[in-house]
Amino acid sequence: MATNAPKTPNLNPPRDSNGDSVVLERQTLKTKPPQMYQVVMLNDDFTPMEFVVRVLQEFFSKDREAATQIMLKIHLDGKGVCGVYSKDVAATKVDQVQDAAHQAGHPLQCLAEPVE
């Protein structure tokens, strides 16, 4: 089995037609910030309001007042934003809420959608 010898890097600087060294400009790469996702909880007629408040406190670190305000928005508007996170964190939050609701026997629904 034959292997190729590793290539040695060229350590000689580039030269122009006169043989002088040429200085290359460094170009900075501009990266976009990652796409953010909002975790949205949907209203239903069966999940107790107190359970929603508890979930908001436990998984979204909301104090009782903020959790109650979000719960009322969910109840009155049909849905409410619980928080804005990167894609992986938002997906984890959705899974945590879905698991807690399932274990408690509630049909609470939660989803992550991109922030526009």
pLDDT at residue 74 tops 60: yes
Residue 45 per-residue DSSP state: S
pTM for the whole structure:
0.74
Instruction: Measure the CA–CA gap between 67 and 18, rounded to whole angstroms.
Output: 72
pLDDT the model gives residue 29: 86
Rounded average pLDDT over 35-46: 97
Query: Is the dihedral angle over the CA atoms 92, 96, 102, 107 positive or is it negative?
Result: negative
pLDDT at residue 1 tops 60: no
Could you tell me which CATH number the domain at 36-114 has?
3.30.1390.10
pLDDT the model gives residue 4: 74
Instruction: Kindly indicate the confidence band of residue 87, based on its pLDDT and cuts at 50, 70 and 90.
Output: very high
pLDDT the model gives residue 6: 72
